[in-house]
């Protein structure tokens, strides 16, 4: 993807790298860590994030091969500016034992089927619902935020064995979830190039 990087972003990454050594990470992991840290100005994400390079490589290929991108909320979609996304939250309704966010995930899966990249940055119940489906995702970026259910839903994601980006703490949110997807979207096709 051809992308012009603004000088402010370049300087921000220079300062980030001066404070955090990311050189030991494999290329796509490094790209995700740096973009998430950059989006939150939170260096602790470098040790809080959990991902696997091989899974990221497959997800990268799926993303650049045109796999659908599904998001849990419009705020995540707003952060992914160079790719169309699917968000069904406006069509969803809450019901007994089902949050609106969980219903939106069901609706999105009915629309896109297996093989999508799922980006969840808001609702732990959206991530929990995704784990009940046979979605066969290319990747789940599970970074919901909060004190109720966020840690547990992310732990369940890691235990599921699905290809994933998650984190251990309560932290997360729309900005970091979209940043993780953008890292894969913006990363050059040649892994030897430096991520910006």
pLDDT in tens, the chain (196 residues): 567 778 888 888 888 989 999 999 999 999 999 999 999 999 999 999 999 999 999 999 999 999 999 999 999 999 998 899 999 999 999 999 899 999 999 999 999 999 999 999 999 999 999 999 999 999 999 999 999 999 999 999 999 999 999 999 999 999 999 999 999 999 886 543 343 3
Rounded CA separation 74/174 (Å): 9
The pTM of this model reads 0.92
Residue 38 among the catalytic residues = yes
- Identify the active-site residue in 38, 64, 103, 187: 38
Rounded CA separation 123/120 (Å): 7
């Amino acid at each position: 993807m051809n992308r012009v990087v603004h000088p402010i972003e370049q300087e921000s990454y220079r300062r980030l790298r001066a404070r955090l050594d990311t050189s030991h990470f494999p290329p796509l992991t490094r790209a995700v860590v740096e973009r998430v840290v950059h989006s939150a100005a939170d260096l602790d994400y470098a040790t809080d994030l959990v991902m696997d390079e091989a899974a990221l490589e497959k997800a990268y290929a799926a993303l650049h091969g045109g796999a659908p991108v599904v998001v849990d909320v419009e705020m995540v979609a707003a952060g992914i500016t160079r790719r169309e996304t699917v968000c069904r939250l406006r069509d969803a309704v809450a019901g007994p034992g089902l949050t609106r966010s969980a219903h939106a995930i069901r609706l999105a899966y009915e629309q896109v089927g297996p093989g999508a990249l799922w980006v969840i940055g808001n609702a732990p119940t959206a991530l929990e619902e995704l784990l009940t489906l046979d979605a066969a995702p290319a990747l789940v970026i599970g970074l919901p935020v909060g004190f109720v259910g966020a840690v547990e839903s992310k732990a369940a994601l890691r235990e599921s064995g699905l290809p994933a980006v998650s984190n251990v703490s309560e932290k997360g949110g729309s900005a970091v979830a979209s940043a993780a997807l953008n890292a894969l979207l913006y990363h050059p096709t040649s892994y030897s190039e430096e991520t910006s």
